[in-house]
Amino acid sequence: MAETGGASGALSDRTARSTGAAGIAEFRAAVLAWAAGEGAAGAGAGAGAGAGSGVGADDGAGGPDHGTTARELAARLPVRTVVLLEGPSDVAAVETLAARQGRDLAAEGVCVLSMGGAMNIARFTRLLGPPGLGLRLTGLCDAREADYYARGWQRAGVPGPGFFVCADDLEDELIRALGAGRVTELVTEQGDLRPLRSFLRQPEQRDRAPERRLRRFLGTKKGRKIHYGRVLTEALAPDRIPAPLRQLLAAL
């Protein structure tokens, strides 16, 4: 009987994790649709929604109410924290490191969300922070985008700073942590040595530092930055995890 109970418990744990991941994915999709609707509505509609909580406003004539869906999902799951990131390669790195640490962010009520660029931060902090759903917010950004994050935090009244800043960007942090030689080895292992060599023959790459050339290479093909966000993070020794990434995970 004890063995049966253990198996049942393990199955329940797996079901809970699956439900949590599916629920967080549904919440993330609702938030992205809500934010897209807010952007399309323009400043006038945004000001009108801001007169209340910012939650539950129509997303267009006759359209679905994504704000209400996001609010209901946030309460039901529940969602505890939203991590606001610039792009999907950042999401790949954060989720990979969490998995390496044995963490299930969805089960913890953490939604890791790509905003499609740092300039969208004000919209997401307004919808998800104190003016909207009132969720705890954190994030990771490039150094050149830190001012966007700071203004978004301030305008939405989000307790701050609450976000972490890479020296340049996350790819640069990962490449410097691993070293150019190790990154080249990983590129070779992934079957990308030929395109890397072709890229490095370009005249404009000759005077760049090896780390800079590798960083540029990661952005030369759609999906490559996302793929290597996972690969580079997987390859990090525990004592070589970049500080902003380590601090973000520790704060969750």
The pair phi, psi for residue 83, each rounded to 5°, is: -100, 115
pLDDT of 248 reads: 97
pLDDT averaged over consecutive 10-residue blocks of the chain (252 residues)?
A: 42 49 95 85 44 44 77 95 96 97 96 96 96 96 94 92 91 97 98 96 92 95 96 97 96 93
Q: What share of the chain is helix, strand, coil (3-state, %, to 5)?
A: 65, 10, 30
- Phi-psi group of 141: left, alpha or beta (phi > 0 → left; psi -120 to 50 → alpha; rest → beta): beta
Q: What is the rounded end-to-end Cα distance, in angstroms, of the chain?
A: 38
Please give the Cα distance from 141 to 87 (Å, whole number): 10
Please give the Cα distance from 87 to 90 (Å, whole number): 6
Q: Where does the chain show beta strands of DSSP type E? A: 81-85, 110-114, 136-141, 163-165
pLDDT of 160 reads: 76
Q: Residue 92: which residues within 8 A CB-CB, separation 6 or more? A: 226, 227, 229, 230, 233
pLDDT of 176 reads: 96
pLDDT of 46 reads: 41
Question: Can the peptide bond before residue 161 be classed as cis, meaning omega within 30 degrees of 0?
Answer: yes
Q: Residue 124: which residues within 8 A CB-CB, separation 6 or more? A: 31, 35, 82, 84, 113, 115, 152
pLDDT of 42 reads: 52
pLDDT of 117 reads: 93
